[in-house]
Structure 1
Amino acid sequence: MTGPIAFISSMPSEVQDSYLASLRAAMPGENIVPFDLLTDAQRQRVDIAVVARPDPVKVAALPRLAWIQSMWAGVDQLLPALGSKAPPVVRLIDPEMSRTMSEAVLAWTYFLQRDMSAYARQQARLLWRQLPYRKPSQVSVGLLGMGELGTAAAIRLADAGFKVRGWSRSTKRLPGIETCSGESGLDLILRESDIVVCLLPLTPQTQGLLNIERLTQMKRGAALINFSRGPILVENDLLTMLEREHISHAVLDVFSVEPLPQESGLWRHSSVTVLPHISAPTDNETAATVFADNVRAYRSGGRIPANVDLTRGY
């Protein structure tokens, strides 16, 4: 007899209820129970937990836990909270999230390619001036991070006609897309790109990666999109490069502190677009379907889904 699946989250109750409804619809044969409603006997039998901003004390209270399913693609906050003795953590790999992220990357790349930020600044000054048009084929986009999300974004940008390069810490191959790796590859991406898009996971190696030295390497007048994690970018260094007009515009969906504090200079800077972490929200229904497939594979053969390498952080 299989035990219940524990649902552990610190999100608002209405958000939790929405997640639970989708999970239960995708797995009608499973007993999915919020942690606080589990009896002591049930907690002893739980072998799977699905989590979103979980309390690590609650996770530790499940002694037979075999693996943890995150409802998000990023696990940078989850891993430190759970510690090195946590059971395997499976991050969300959802084709719908990849589609949504690639859509966002393409949309904001168009925003920069069509000079929409410049036209907004001109409108504020009551200035009527037409800027030269750049075709997508004249715009080089460098993608930092070639995982599921980065790969989907690279393909979508290339299909739209942009010149695309992708960078990752280890060598990746993607048909029709130029890829590079290592420090020399990162230097190339920063030096040659008109728009740099960051989709890297947050790890000890990527924290603070986009600092003053690397932002200085960017082509003068280039733009930056950060849709990954806030701490990868040193925000004060970005502001410095914007004031120097070395970077023309930054589209930021993630920040070191979220919500972005009202005193942050990013809010009021005319060359910054602030978004409230919305580039690729989890789709409850498709995420639940992914999780259901993982559970079925585990129930039928005991196979734990591909999980996070704790040494790499992704």
Structure 2
Amino acid sequence: MALLIEIGHNGWYSEEDLAAQFRALDPAADIRTTAAPGNLDEVTVLAVSALKSDLPTQLPNLQLVQKLGAGVETIVNHPSLAPHVRVARLKPEEPAREIAQYCLAYVLRGTRNMDYHEKAQARALWDPVAPRRPADTTVGVLGLGHIGGLTAGLMRDMGFQTMGWSRTPKEIAGVTCLSGDHGLNGLLSSSDYVCAILPSTAETRNLLDAERLAHMKEGATLINAGRGDLIDEQALASALYQRRPGHAVLDVLRHEPLPEDNPLWKHPCVTITPHVSGWHLGDALGDVLENLRRLTAGADLLHEVDRARGY
């Protein structure tokens, strides 16, 4: 039983780098890359970051697509993936912490007036401005799963008034947890910063449309480190001119890489980063190999996805 790596995009680990790390962890494992796939009949696991090719049709004995990350929207409904093929994702600690830190970095950038001071420096202007106290700042987190829960906990521990929203009720100590449509509107209208960390599902696509964005607090900052299709980007461009939100930090977009002619690049109230909020896989590489072993042994998989639900 062999594992074949297909990253599916540029700008992250290379297939060769990942293969070397897998082999270092388990020298006996049969790890292959698309540059040297060998006999495709022997491949039972396909490990991907994004599944964008028809490679599954060339793997007659494929049993599992292992996502090298959390989001599985490019996999679960892929037209080339047979219904019997299982899907699993990762729940690694290191990139979850990185995403939480990414959100915190932009919250602190705002509360500490970093943009203002940079502009003042360009004018040789010495103009002290008081930072905003965390206790007087509300941070809302959309999505309270593995990553969102960690993010909400970090904001709470930094002293921010912290709210969280999820489709179903949850409880996190020190976090005001909301659910449902009424809860979502309440979080948006109360939060100075909204950190979106939601998966791409039928329920979340275009969740933040024009109507929903209008509920945001005037001048608030929207930080999206979840999935790009959460936000109606055209509605966002218009909403920014109404200052609801006042600024958007987008690490994920509907189309990646973002085309050069997309107006979001030059929007004065938008900050774009190239999907870098969560980068390193850390100890989750071991989970990939563990799933290879479990599949061989007929045991339950780690973090298997319900393809119908999308997560």
> Do both share a fold (TM > 0.5)?
yes
Match of 1:191 in 2: 189
SS across alignment from 1:104: helix
Q: Kindly state the Cα deviation for residue 36 of structure 1 after the two structures are TM-superposed.
A: 5.7
Match of 2:95 in 1: 97
Q: Deviations over 1:273-312 (max 9, x none)?
A: 11111111143x5332221233344445522223112222
Match of 1:30 in 2: 29
Please tell me whether residue 107 in structure 1 is matched to residue 105 in structure 2.
Answer: yes
Q: Deviations over 1:213-258 (max 9, x none)?
A: 1111011121111111112111222221221233221111111222
Cα distance change of structure 1 residues 212 and 130 upon mapping to structure 2, 3 Å threshold: farther
Of stretches 15-24 and 4-13 in structure 1, the one that deviates more from structure 2 is: 4-13
The one-letter amino acid of 2:50's match is R
Match of 1:218 in 2: 216
* Cα root mean square deviation, aligned: 2.4
Q: How many pairs were matched up?
A: 309
SS across alignment from 1:7: strand
User: 2: CA distance between counterparts of 1:59 and 1:170?
Assistant: 34
TM alignment of 1:46-195, pairs within 5 A: 46-54=43-51, 56-81=53-78, 82-83=80-81, 85=83, 87-121=85-119, 129-195=127-193
User: 1: CA distance between counterparts of 2:226 and 2:171?
Assistant: 21
SS across alignment from 1:277: coil
Cα distance change of structure 1 residues 261 and 4 upon mapping to structure 2, 3 Å threshold: closer
Contact 1:71 1:282 in 2 (8 A): no
User: 2: CA distance between counterparts of 1:38 and 1:250?
Assistant: 42
Q: Kindly state the Cα deviation for residue 90 of structure 1 after the two structures are TM-superposed.
A: 0.6
Q: Kindly state the Cα deviation for residue 128 of structure 1 after the two structures are TM-superposed.
A: 5.3
The one-letter amino acid of 2:304's match is N
Q: 2:271 aligns with which of 270, 273, 298?
A: 273
Higher helix share: 1
SS across alignment from 2:165: strand
The one-letter amino acid of 2:23's match is R
Of stretches 286-295 and 222-231 in structure 1, the one that deviates more from structure 2 is: 286-295
Unaligned runs of 5+ in 2: none
SS across alignment from 1:262: coil
SS across alignment from 1:281: coil
Of stretches 195-204 and 300-309 in structure 1, the one that deviates more from structure 2 is: 300-309
Identity %: 33
Of stretches 286-295 and 213-222 in structure 1, the one that deviates more from structure 2 is: 286-295
> TM-score, structure 1 length as denominator?
0.89
User: 1: CA distance between counterparts of 2:49 and 2:131?
Assistant: 44
Cα distance change of structure 1 residues 80 and 121 upon mapping to structure 2, 3 Å threshold: farther
